């Protein structure tokens, strides 16, 4: 049986207030954090192990910064604020400088995400809308390409597909929706309905054929994409796009809402961040049989990972097993997960 | 959340208040372990002012001791409240005031849940969901106008 050990490496005193989000840059060398103090901090290594604050970005927002994201080139950071603004920061030498501010949302912006292709940026918020912004290289600016109003409530989280320009959004309306562009028109191509309360977050696996989601209903769900003409004979309602089905529900572990979930592209491990102060790591059970629904087992957890709610969890994209988390307790923590055969 | 100028409940029933807590000898003894109990949580919320009447939530029977539960092992506090009328548009604001008071006064280790007594409001499911979404509560309390209204509700005459 495979078990794991979650080892605490370092606690970074990031803020006197709530830390809402942490995000690794694509090369895994820098970690950005943000929160209620309206400051973005960039953390980097000093020496072999020690992580220190390399720079702080302030004056971008007048209210809490809910989330921060890196572009895939690593030269741009976007931040989403409760002040209804999205700020774009650009690397100039060792520093990041405020380049532009995107306005349009009516009130709190909850999340921001760059597409893998580098062509798009998406934002979402309390006004129930998802905005897609197209990057214009010549003008080095973003222009609004679509305003999607499919959700009926507050939109909490966004995630782009790891290979394609497919956008996924999670909402207070309990659903997950997927959007794609067809003939210059962005539209919702499917809705994933199974959670019974707010969906706080989701993440793709490395192949982009599966998605994990987490919710206020204290469950984690695994979704599988069935392409058109799939062997299982599952019909896509529109005959063109894949249909997503919930194939596994992980329940009974979390005692409070699950605010974030991350699916490591390197190790295949799933990590959750919960309002019960815990971090939990799940691993898929290997199955020799085909056509058997996947099953996941808890291989490691820390019930007191933080002294308050854990808001985000992020696997380092290059270093297998290195994890960052952040919490209402004002800290960012770095962890290592080691897997061993028991 | 919009505040209307009309009174929602023109003639509310006024209830008698509970007696002040009597100090026990052990309360002043630092050597006796003393967990926070239901009565202490109730004392924090019973003096909250109603948004529209010059009365406390206890006097309007919006909160009572029975509606408070605390689990010191799990660090959870649950408060149930009862809007004076089942279509009260102030219900969210009252719940937010209860939540704000508890966030500001209880140790941070407690997970606070605030819910409407079952069947006490026509929109209890929606209101409960909103009151227990920490992201929306945080955003609401960052809103200067709303925060001022909440602070007026939770201020006590001594402040």
Tens digits of residue pLDDT in A94-113? 899 999 999 999 999 999 99
Q: What is the ipTM of this complex?
A: 0.93
Q: How far is B139 from chain A (nearest CA, A)?
A: 7
- Give domain status of residue B103, yes or no: yes
First CA to last CA distance, chain A: 5
* Residue from the list B111, B136, B142 with its beta carbon closest to the beta carbon of A256: B111
Chain B residue with the nearest C-alpha to that of A309: B111
In this structure, whether the domain defined by A4-339 belongs to CATH 1.20.1440.80 is answered with: no
Out of A43-52, A277-286, B2-11, B50-59, least confident range: B2-11
Which is nearest to A34 in space by CA: A84, A75, A85, A69?
A69
Domain limits for position B59? 35-154
**Which residues in chain B are closer than 8 Å to A255, comparing Cβ atoms?**
74
Is residue B109 predicted with pLDDT exceeding 80?
yes
**Which residues in chain B are closer than 8 Å to A126, comparing Cβ atoms?**
136, 139
Report domain extents, chain A. 4-339
Residue contact B133–A172, C-beta within 8 A: yes
pLDDT at A121: 97
Rg over alpha carbons for chain B, rounded to the nearest Å, is 16
First CA to last CA distance, chain B: 26
Residue contact A216–B109, C-beta within 8 A: no
Q: Which residue has the higher pLDDT, A94 or A43?
A: A43
Domain count, chain B: 1
Distance, in Å, from the CA atom of A216 to the CA atom of A152, rounded to the nearest integer, reads: 17
* Residue from the list A64, A110, A307 with its beta carbon closest to the beta carbon of B142: A64
Chain B residue with the nearest C-alpha to that of A108: B139
| Mean pLDDT confidence for B74-99 | 95
How far lies A75's CA from each of A25, A99, A115, A163, in Å?
9, 12, 14, 20
Q: What is the mean pLDDT of chain A?
A: 95
- Give domain status of residue B70, yes or no: yes
- Give domain status of residue B9, yes or no: no
The CATH number that applies at residue B52 is 3.30.300.130
CB-defined contacts A:B, below 8 A: 36
Which residues lie closer than 8 Å to A311 by C-beta, 6 or more apart? A18, A19, A20, A21, A259, A260, A273, A326, A327, A328
**Which residues in chain B are closer than 8 Å to A216, comparing Cβ atoms?**
133
C-alpha neighbours within 13 Å on the C-beta side of residue B29 = 6
Residue contact B135–A197, C-beta within 8 A: no
The pLDDT > 90 percentage for chain A reads 87
Report residue B137: phi and psi, to 5°. -65, -45
CB A338 within 8 A of CB A33: no
Q: Express each pLDDT in A226-271 by its tens digit.
A: 987 777 777 776 667 889 999 999 999 999 999 999 999 999 999 9
Q: Which residue has the higher pLDDT, A340 or A236?
A: A340
Q: How far is A138 from chain B (nearest CA, A)?
A: 37
Q: What is the pTM of this model?
A: 0.94
- Give domain status of residue B7, yes or no: no
C-alpha neighbours within 13 Å on the C-beta side of residue A188 = 16
Q: Express each pLDDT in B1-42 by its tens digit.
A: 445 556 777 778 888 888 887 777 777 888 887 889 999 999
Residue contact A108–B139, C-beta within 8 A: yes
- Give domain status of residue B6, yes or no: no
Q: Express each pLDDT in A207-228 by its tens digit.
A: 999 999 999 999 999 999 998 7
pLDDT at B68: 98
- Give domain status of residue B24, yes or no: no
Which is nearest to B9 in space by CA: B61, B47, B65, B66?
B61
């Amino acid at each position: 049986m495979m078990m794991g050990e979650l080892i605490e490496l370092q606690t970074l005193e990031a803020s006197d207030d709530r830390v809402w989000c942490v995000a690794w840059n694509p090369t895994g060398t820098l970690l950005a954090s943000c929160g209620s103090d309206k400051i973005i901090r960039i953390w980097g290594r000093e020496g072999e192990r020690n992580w220190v604050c390399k720079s702080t970005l302030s004056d971008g927002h007048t209210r809490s910064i809910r989330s921060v994201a890196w572009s895939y080139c690593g030269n741009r950071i976007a931040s989403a604020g409760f002040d209804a603004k999205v700020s774009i920061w650009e690397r100039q030498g060792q520093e990041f400088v405020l380049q532009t501010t995107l306005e349009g949302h009516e009130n709190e912006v909850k999340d921001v995400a760059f597409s893998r292709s580098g062509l798009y940026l998406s934002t979402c918020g309390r006004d129930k809308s998802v905005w897609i912004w197209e990057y214009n290289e010549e003008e080095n600016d973003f222009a609004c390409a679509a305003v999607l109003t499919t959700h009926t409530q507050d939109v909490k989280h966004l995630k782009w597909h790891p290979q394609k320009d497919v956008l996924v959004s999670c909402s207070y309306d309990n659903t997950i929706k997927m959007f794609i562009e067809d003939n210059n028109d962005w539209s919702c191509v499917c809705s994933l309905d199974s959670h019974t309360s707010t969906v706080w977050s989701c993440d793709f696996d490395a192949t982009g054929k599966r998605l994990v989601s987490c919710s206020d209903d204290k469950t984690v769900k695994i979704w599988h994409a069935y392409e058109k003409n799939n062997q299982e004979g599952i019909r896509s309602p529109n005959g063109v796009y894949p249909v997503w089905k919930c194939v596994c529900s992980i329940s009974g572990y979390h005692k409070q809402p699950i605010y974030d979930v991350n699916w490591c592209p390197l190790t295949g491990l799933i990590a959750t961040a919960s309002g019960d102060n815990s971090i939990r790591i799940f691993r898929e059970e290997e199955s020799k049989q085909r056509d058997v629904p996947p099953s996941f087992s808890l291989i490691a957890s820390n019930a007191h990972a933080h002294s308050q709610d854990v808001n985000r969890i992020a696997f380092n994209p290059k270093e297998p097993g290195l994890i960052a988390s952040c919490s209402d307790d004002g800290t960012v923590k770095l962890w290592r997960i080691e897997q061993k055969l028991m | 959340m919009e505040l209307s100028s009309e009174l929602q409940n023109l003639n509310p029933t006024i209830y008698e208040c509970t007696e002040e807590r009597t100090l026990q000898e052990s309360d002043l003894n630092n050597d006796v372990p003393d967990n926070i109990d239901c009565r202490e949580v109730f004392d924090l919320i019973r003096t909250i002012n109603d948004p529209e009447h010059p009365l406390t939530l206890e006097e309007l029977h919006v909160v009572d001791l029975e509606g408070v539960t605390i689990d010191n092992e799990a660090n959870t506090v649950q408060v149930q409240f009862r809007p004076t009328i089942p279509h009260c548009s102030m219900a969210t604001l009252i719940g937010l005031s209860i939540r704000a008071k508890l966030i500001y006064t209880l140790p941070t280790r407690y997970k606070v849940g605030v819910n409407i007594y079952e069947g006490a409001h026509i929109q209890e499911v929606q209101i409960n969901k909103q009151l227990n979404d920490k992201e929306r509560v945080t955003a609401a309390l960052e809103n200067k106008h709303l925060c001022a209204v909440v602070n007026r509700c939770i201020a006590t005459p001594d402040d």
